[in-house]
Structure 1
Amino acid sequence: MIDWQIANDLKQAIGADVFDEVIAVFFAEADDTLTRMMAATTAEDMQNELHFMKGSALNLGFSDMAQLCQRLELRAEAGDTDLPLAQVQTVYAASREEFSLRRAQMLD
């Protein structure tokens, strides 16, 4: 669900304090993106939100979420609007919970 090596590499590269800020911003932006995604009515809008979410997720190691967003983004790019967007919410919630629970165990 989480690629901890990516998360740890980022934390090492930017420092623990900045990492905490990045995580807080990610969670806030992800929540906003999910709201916009669920309200989207066009394939283009869905694709844009899924693309943003995928990129953000990849940067922090949220691998399951990134993979799901990738698959749905490709469908939206093909014009499909009948996407199981609730799955993104579910995977995000599970990933966020796992990340929050195991974050203290990350390397310093």
Structure 2
Amino acid sequence: MFLEEVDEALGRLFRSDDGAIAKDLHFIKGSALNIGLTEVSSICRSVETKLREAPARDADLRAIQTAFHKAKLEFASGALE
């Protein structure tokens, strides 16, 4: 369920305004941290900070997407439990 919800939130990141992006980043950051995806959570925290300092679409949203998909593959292979 978490993976599906995060996939949906990630999709919205690329179609939303800064306010919605901040909300989805916060959701992804907290959810990822709760299940031990510290890299995903850390990247979200960094992007949240950048958006607060200078609201712009140049935040590295692709880094979040890449880290999440890497974690999904690790889950599927049993590397993360």
Q: How many residues align?
A: 80
Kept in 2: contact 1:54–1:70 (CA 8 A): yes
Kept in 2: contact 1:64–1:91 (CA 8 A): yes
* Aligned twin of 2:57: 81
Larger RCO (CA under 8 A, 6+ residues apart): 1
Kept in 2: contact 1:33–1:53 (CA 8 A): yes
Tell me how far apart the structure 1 counterparts of residues 4 and 46 of structure 2 sit (CA, whole Å).
23
**TM-score, normalising length: structure 2:** 0.87
Query: CA RMSD for the aligned pairs?
Result: 1.6
Larger fraction in helix: 1
**TM-score, normalising length: structure 1:** 0.67
* Aligned twin of 2:69: 93
Gaps of 5+ in 2: none
Gaps of 5+ in 1: 1-24
Structure 1 runs of 4+ aligned residues shifted over 3 Å read none
| Larger Rg belongs to | 1
Kept in 2: contact 1:69–1:88 (CA 8 A): yes
